[in-house]
Structure 1
Amino acid sequence: MDNEESDKYRAPALDKGLDILELLASVDGGLTQAEISKRLNRSPNEFYRMLDRLVRRGYVTRIDGDLYSLTLKLFGLAQLHAPVRRLASFATPLMRELAQRSKQANQLAVFDRGSAVVIAQQEAPDYWGISIRVGSHISLFDTGSGHVLLAFRSPEEREMMISEHVRSRDEINLTPEFYARLDQIRERGYEMMASAQTAGVYNLSAPILGPDGRSIAALTCPYISLVNNPSAPDITETISLLLKTASQLSALAGADVAQG
């Protein structure tokens, strides 16, 4: 298709919005409206409405009053695209093996628009186990999956992930202790916490890491003590099995990313 033919299908407003997104993706810390206009060689008035719409739709946020920066909404949309489907696909046999060896259910979750979303789950092999439906949206703040997804991200990315969930920190009372816990999880390599939803359950969660060391998913085992099966692995053994599976999935995820 030559230039004359392609110009027939131009969408100036869409081009303008994509120009803004691509520019903001290439810088750290954000840009003012004037800086955006200068870099794109346009007048500031041309971008006012477009920036307002991008902010209202959640793709861009304002920081420090007059700086515009990308949110993680595009990242969240990408997470539900082909790479995540591939991750869920080759996670299945490893998750099945983990369930068989641990005698516990497990689930795989990714970040999407302010929540952790379950993209795959494996039932416990015996009668008893805790499972959650694929497609369920769960909290970032009181679940093992959410903690792990936040812990293995940079402080700036954490804030953007959190801002997509709530408008004000006061709504969820994010204390300094909460951020300290995320740092402890990162140092330890996994989360172990009593379930905030179900009594007697411990959430054991480990990160699936990309080549850059950032979390792309969380593998979680909702651990319950099986009194009718005393030979089942205890919680310490289950953590070891979980970490081994997460490491295998991280290696597969890294290879998948490298291959495009």
Structure 2
Amino acid sequence: MARKPTETAEDIPEDPPSAADRYRAPALDKGLDILEVLASQARGLTRAEIVKEMGLGPSQIYRMLERLVARGYVTRLEGGDRYALTMKLFLLGTGHPPLRRLIAQAQPMMDDFSRELRQSCHLVVPEHGCGIIIAQASPPAHWEFRARVGAQLDLFTTGSGMTLLAFQHPRQLAETLGRWGIADAASRLRHAEPELTEIRRQGFRLAPSAQAVGVTDLSVPVRGPAGDAMAVITCAYIEHPDDPRADMRSATLTSLIALAQSLSLDHDRPGTDLHPG
């Protein structure tokens, strides 16, 4: 039986290229590398620091970085040369399915609340420098006062926005706002801190609406696992002269707190507990 010839290095076929090598897209790889570098930097990085981290020349990342800014994945902190991730990746990657689950869970409870208390309410989540209304419920009446689903709310001038701010972790709030793209975050927070402290102390916000005369905003945080507000539920409370029930504002607030606690992911935390840390 003839012996098989000894194989040489030239005779051994090369391994087929892996899928990762076969379908390389250098420009896309650079963009993903930028996102991964920024993901580990709470305070963001300057363009020079990004260049150093990636080991590339400035010209190799400049256009890619600007496109990421234009598409909303990256923001310039306070308009300067420091870049950080926005909330867009979070919303695309992990935000939407939980958001749908939150709405599906919240909507029937909000409908019951509105039907029983004869008040409208809406659910607000943070989205890149503002609050956005993702669900709304109104009482079955001939007229209603309600907020529009999809409306964007200023964080510093609305009850929902201030409550979202109050129940973010205090030591990380300025950084959080920076990632959300809010300019001059530190000075705005200093100005708002007395009210934020009071909201944290109470566990909710009760104050006249800054948008409509005669309306009282009742806002309660919906807490995530770590105690931060992942959402806020707000009732734009209106007095009903024909309602024979006494002290309906207190009853409405009590029901709103119970509703928010039912939606929260840290059910053991009392509604009026101070924010952790």
Cα distance in 1, alignment partners of residues 128 and 42 from structure 2? 21
Structure 2 partner of 1:134? 149
SS at match of 1:207: strand
Structure 2 partner of 1:100? 115
* Aligned CA-pair RMSD: 3.0
Structure 2 partner of 1:188? 202
Cα distance in 2, alignment partners of residues 3 and 233 from structure 1? 74
Partner AA of 1:242 in structure 2: L
Kept after mapping to 1: 8 A contact 2:224/2:266: no
Q: Taking structure 1 as reference, are residues 33 and 133 closer, same or farther at Cα in structure 2, changes over 3 Å only?
A: closer
Q: Taking structure 1 as reference, are residues 191 and 162 closer, same or farther at Cα in structure 2, changes over 3 Å only?
A: farther
Q: Which of 225, 232, 240 does residue 239 from structure 2 map onto?
A: 225
Normalised TM-score (structure 2):
0.76
Structure 1 partner of 2:229? 215
The equivalences for 1:1-260 within 5 A come to 3-63=17-77, 66-77=81-92, 81-127=96-142, 129-153=144-168, 154-161=173-180, 163=182, 174=188, 176-231=190-245, 234-251=248-265
Cα distance in 1, alignment partners of residues 131 and 267 from structure 2? 18
Deviation at 1:223, TM superposition (A): 0.4
Deviation at 1:141, TM superposition (A): 2.5
If you compute each CA radius of gyration, which structure gives the higher value, 1 or 2? 2
Deviation at 1:121, TM superposition (A): 0.9
Q: Taking structure 1 as reference, are residues 180 and 60 closer, same or farther at Cα in structure 2, changes over 3 Å only?
A: farther
Deviation at 1:46, TM superposition (A): 1.9
Normalised TM-score (structure 1):
0.81
CA deviation profile, 1:229-248 (whole Å, cap 9, x unmatched): 12165212211111111011
CA deviation profile, 1:84-119 (whole Å, cap 9, x unmatched): 011000112221222233221111111223332211
Count, aligned residues: 247
SS at match of 2:132: strand
Cα distance in 2, alignment partners of residues 117 and 137 from structure 1? 5
Partner AA of 2:123 in structure 1: L
Deviation at 1:80, TM superposition (A): 5.8
Cα distance in 2, alignment partners of residues 128 and 234 from structure 1? 19
CA deviation profile, 1:134-157 (whole Å, cap 9, x unmatched): 222232232211112222222321
SS at match of 2:45: coil
Misfit runs of 4+, over 6 Å: none
Kept after mapping to 2: 8 A contact 1:209/1:215: yes
Structure 1 partner of 2:275? none
Q: Taking structure 1 as reference, are residues 79 and 115 closer, same or farther at Cα in structure 2, changes over 3 Å only?
A: farther
Cα distance in 1, alignment partners of residues 61 and 118 from structure 2? 56
Which ranges in structure 2 are unaligned for 5 or more consecutive residues? 1-15, 269-277
**Identity rate, percent:** 43
Cα distance in 1, alignment partners of residues 267 and 102 from structure 2? 7
Partner AA of 2:37 in structure 1: L
